[in-house]
Amino acid sequence: MGNRGPTHQVSSFTRKAVYPQLCTLTSSGKAPVARFSPTYTGKGHNIDTMDGNRDDASGISRSKRSLASVNTPAGSGNDELDKTAQPDAASNKVGPEDAAKQERENADPENIKAISTVDEAEGDYDVRKENHFGEAAIIDNAKDLVTHVLHVDDEPSDSPWTFRALFIGNVYRLCLILCVFASVLQEIFYFKPQIILVSVVFLTVIGYILALPFQLIPRPGGDGVVSRTCRFLNPADFNSKEHTFMVIMASAGSTSAVATQILAAQRLYYGSSPDKGAAIFLVIASQFLSYGIAGLLRSVLVQPAKMLWPVNIPVNTLLETLHRDRSETRKRLRCFTAVFGGAFLWEIVPLWIAPIFQGVAVPCLARRDSLVFTNLFGGAQNNEGLGFLGLCFDWNYIAGLSSPLWYPLCTLVNSMTGYLLCIVLFMGVYYGNVWDSINFPFLSQLLYHGSSNATNFVQYNLTAILNSDNTINSTLVAEQGLPYLSGSYVIRLITTNVGITAAIVHLLLWNYNDLKDGWAFLRPSRLQRLFQVSTYFSWRGHDSGEEAARRQRVVDDKDLDPHYKLMMQNGYVEVPNWWYGLVLVLSFVIGITTLYKIGSTLPWWAFIVSNLFSALFILFFGAQMGLTGFQFDQQPVILMLGGYLLPGKPLANMYFTVFGFNGIQQGQWLLRDLKLAQLAHLPPKATFTAQMLGTVVGAIMDYVVMVSIVDNQTPALLSINGTNVWSGQNVQAYSTLAVAWSMAKDMFSVGSRYQWVTLSFLVGFLAPLPFWLAWKLTGRDVFRDVDTSIVVWNCALLYVGVNSSLLMYFCLGIFAQWYLRRFHPAAFIKYNYLVSAALDGGTQVMVFLLSFAVLGASGREHKFPTYALNNGGTNNDVNIDYCMFNTASAN
């Protein structure tokens, strides 16, 4: 990125603090000095020393067996594969020069080579030198993390392309089962009071459990029918690549498509829904469009080492723990099993038996007759309050969006700063009666009529202002008056808009060189390739000299992920870009056809514009998520843009958002899974296949589950508070914004009631500049570590949901990423991400079981008897944390 200011010389296991996602804030603003393990001898580059996984009598490690020549494709069946990887006896001897070199390094730790250093004199660079698994060092950047926490080795003969995986239906059926399971669970969580994402770790655990019975099928010798059939069904041990294939397919199906939001809104608020077949094709097209865009950007957003995608580290850690040699992972497996079992058994307590553990509000227990205390300290119920000083003992809510244990420290500090500012802002706006806020709920995502007051909240009648073609009737709006929003929701809109533009400016200032290849396709030389035959038939020449040279350039590139370089060194074949281009074109055609088929009122030109916004935002916000782990919610911004482009057409605006916002969100998740596959060394074409299949299955299941829940839980979904089990908050917010932004000219333009919602875009462009200039002038890293987009977005973090979990979230995250990572690096490397995986997995397995068994997901709810720790919540017009209940919200 050109001149980024002063850098610091560090020893071999630290880095220049140029990666804001993994920085360590110190009083001096400088990167910390690494603490080495007492047993370190300077032999970190000896693969045999690090890798205890020896898989044959000769003691040759898997990492040494894994490497073939650059031009040998993985899985080719070449008998020379192992021979080229096995060293002879002479190769293991230490020559005089090497011995002298080791002696010097042992005597002077400062002479130890940096992790990414390449010794030019040694010839072709071997990616295995970057394997530092288990070495005790303070992890200070993305490259250190993926080479210390994960093994940089591979077994190319482990392939997901087995008969059982694709044809027989053994693992393939498991993939379908897991995919259906994941899509059903995520759609259920979409209608929960707290926004919860199905953890990929959870899918990893379930996939492993489902696959274990097939491991019991014997593989006898002989040529008999039974023997051949058994070997056919279970040809080899269940390996990590088959497992990763299953997980990625399930992950692709586990995303609750934005298209289901508009379909749910139509059923709840408009009394109509499109044809079932058209609805399913709508969901599929909206998902695949983003896949095409994101796939074409993978060289910018996935392959570089800096693009860490930290959300994947627990998953890849778990995959290695489950599939590497048991002698190496025994302690880690015991740890995982214990934590998983504990989380599984405990979750039944806060979720069903004693819901008060979802949020213990000590101040409310001391004073139960104050709405001020409810608004500030309450938070165990949906939209109850801010949950300040609340104690949450339910991992389901603590890690509802993501586990705090894997979030980089800088992201946590920026987020916590915004969280504290959020409390001040919300209380100040509400009790300062800004925008007449005191006449409306403290937290709400609905539109309200001007006749509302503090004791009687009157919802705005949306259907009363619509014509028969679902367009807004200005005469009817004048009769009823413009709608009002709660003050907290206005703040949310403002901070989101500021954050959007601030993120773009922040990335351009700090990461321009990382992103510039995202628009490199506009170069004339790149455009010429569209007309070259080799572009579309590239697989025919992947063993050519040109391809070999390309692979070597990848291996020699210090900026690329070592795991990706290892895959290229081992001969893996990349997916041609035209595959993703074809997905983009086909989904575009299906999408625009479906829109006209179902009468969406969205014109063709607006459909194109929505996809252009999606492509632009995937580049910037994909980079932000890859660097920091933070995922922005761009939905309000896309709705606003649609409102100005399509005034008076809320239905068209919602469809505009389906392809605009859903494209961004789905694109980020595709990129996340591409990185997961890269760290697991899954062949790229297997990854592509898994994502395509999973998306189709998930789209169908999303629609089926949405229809079932909406038809059976309509009263709860239409309520302001819902229940502690079901909530329509997401659909409410979606419909609210669609209608509100369709009246954008009257509600949000300069001079109107909520003018700062629009003006906030301009503020966002300026927000990062003071910190960037301060860093330029002083060179202090603390200014570089401030990400204004994350801080500002979190200034409205508490606008919805169960908020009692946030204090515990930040405390646990900072404990892991600051205290453990800095003062106990060995424990951090070995167990932090594994514990995160175990907590996610155990908790979500129990949540799934309880959702269907007792919480009403199957259509019938079984309530636990009321007593002190379970007072019934909103069903009895009380809050489960005993804060004062606002009766106006129950109307």
Are both 309 and 168 inside the same structural domain? yes
φ and ψ at residue 391, rounded to 5 degrees: -115, 115
Candidates 649, 664, 659, 666; CA nearest to 608 is 659
The rounded distance, in Å, linking the Cα atoms of 312 and 300 is 18
The rounded distance, in Å, linking the Cα atoms of 798 and 174 is 38
- Give per-residue pLDDT as tens, 406-455: 999 999 999 999 999 999 999 999 999 999 999 999 998 888 999 999 88
- pLDDT at 625 > cutoff 80: yes
Question: 258, 700 in Cβ contact below 8 A?
Answer: no
Res 596: pLDDT: 83
Q: Please say which residue of 675, 698, 728 terminates a domain.
A: 728
Are both 663 and 630 inside the same structural domain? yes
- pLDDT at 613 > cutoff 60: yes
Are both 553 and 659 inside the same structural domain? no
Mean pLDDT in residue range 711-723? 75
Domain assignment present for 400: no
DSSP state of 167: I
Question: 469, 601 in Cβ contact below 8 A?
Answer: yes
Longest CA span, the chain: 93
Domain enclosing residue 551, as ranges: 520-569
- Give per-residue pLDDT as tens, 45-56: 332 333 333 333
Mean pLDDT in residue range 701-718? 82
Res 111: pLDDT: 36
Domain assignment present for 734: no
Residues 6+ apart with CB under 8 A from 183: 253, 254, 697, 698, 701, 702, 705
The rounded distance, in Å, linking the Cα atoms of 639 and 617 is 14
Are both 621 and 681 inside the same structural domain? yes
Res 329: pLDDT: 82
Are both 203 and 293 inside the same structural domain? yes
Q: Please say which residue of 508, 541, 569 terminates a domain.
A: 569
Mean pLDDT in residue range 323-351? 91
At CA 183, angle to CA 181 and CA 187, rounded to 5?
Answer: 120
Q: Which two tokens stand for residue 260?
A: 């289901």
Cα 437 → chain centroid: 34
Residue 777, judged by CB atoms within 10 A of its CB (0-12, 13-18, 19+), counts as exposed
The rounded distance, in Å, linking the Cα atoms of 111 and 105 is 5
Q: Report pTM.
A: 0.78
- Token pair 């250190």 is found at 144
φ and ψ at residue 610, rounded to 5 degrees: -60, -35
- Give per-residue pLDDT as tens, 752-784: 899 999 999 999 999 999 999 999 999 888 899
Q: Which amino acid is at 277?
A: G
Of 70-74, 400-404, 535-539, 664-668, where does mean pLDDT reach its minimum? 70-74
Are both 59 and 104 inside the same structural domain? yes
Are both 60 and 175 inside the same structural domain? no
DSSP state of 29: S
Res 890: pLDDT: 62
Domain assignment present for 784: no
Domain assignment present for 882: no
The rounded distance, in Å, linking the Cα atoms of 195 and 728 is 11
Q: Which two tokens stand for residue 262?
A: 């508009």
Res 412: pLDDT: 95
Domain assignment present for 540: yes
Are both 296 and 177 inside the same structural domain? yes
The rounded distance, in Å, linking the Cα atoms of 358 and 384 is 13
Cα 721 → chain centroid: 27
> Which residues sit opposite 169 in a β-bridge?
none
Residues 6+ apart with CB under 8 A from 63: 47, 51, 53, 128, 131, 151, 152, 153, 154
Q: At what angle do helices 240-253 and 684-712 cross, to 10 degrees?
A: 40
- Give per-residue pLDDT as tens, 499-511: 999 999 999 999 8
Check residues 257 and 20 and name the one with the higher pLDDT.
Answer: 257
DSSP notation for 194-262 = S--PPPHHHHHHHHHHHHHHHHTS----SSSHHHHHHHHHS-S---HHHHHHHHHHHHHH-S--HHHHH
The rounded distance, in Å, linking the Cα atoms of 718 and 736 is 12
Domain assignment present for 665: yes
Candidates 145, 251, 90, 286; CA nearest to 703 is 286
Query: b or e along 792-823 (b: 16 or more beta carbons within 10 Å of the residue's beta carbon)?
Result: bbbbbbbbbbbbbbbbbbbebbbebbeebbbe
The rounded distance, in Å, linking the Cα atoms of 678 and 297 is 15
Computed from CA positions of residues 635, 637, 643, 645, in that sequence, does the dihedral angle turn out positive or negative? negative
Q: Which amino acid is at 561?
A: D
Contacts 24+ apart (CB under 8 A), 232-239: 232/163, 232/164, 232/168, 233/164, 233/168, 233/170, 234/164, 234/170, 235/162, 235/163, 235/164, 236/162, 238/171, 238/211, 238/212, 238/214, 238/323, 239/155, 239/158, 239/323
The rounded distance, in Å, linking the Cα atoms of 871 and 754 is 39
Are both 565 and 644 inside the same structural domain? no
Domain assignment present for 175: yes
The rounded distance, in Å, linking the Cα atoms of 759 and 594 is 35
For residue 613, the surrounding DSSP H or E stretch is helix 604-628
Res 89: pLDDT: 38
Mean pLDDT in residue range 576-590? 91
The rounded distance, in Å, linking the Cα atoms of 323 and 53 is 11
Are both 208 and 309 inside the same structural domain? yes
What band does 161 get if pLDDT is binned at 50, 70 and 90? low
The rounded distance, in Å, linking the Cα atoms of 442 and 126 is 59
Question: 331, 424 in Cβ contact below 8 A?
Answer: no
Domain assignment present for 845: no
- Give per-residue pLDDT as tens, 218-236: 777 777 777 777 776 677 7
- Across 578-582, 633-637, 712-716, the highest mean pLDDT is recorded for 578-582
The total number of structural domains in the chain stands at 3
Q: Please say which residue of 728, 757, 785 terminates a domain.
A: 728
Residue 237, judged by CB atoms within 10 A of its CB (0-12, 13-18, 19+), counts as exposed
The rounded distance, in Å, linking the Cα atoms of 191 and 264 is 10
Are both 83 and 203 inside the same structural domain? no
Are both 664 and 559 inside the same structural domain? no
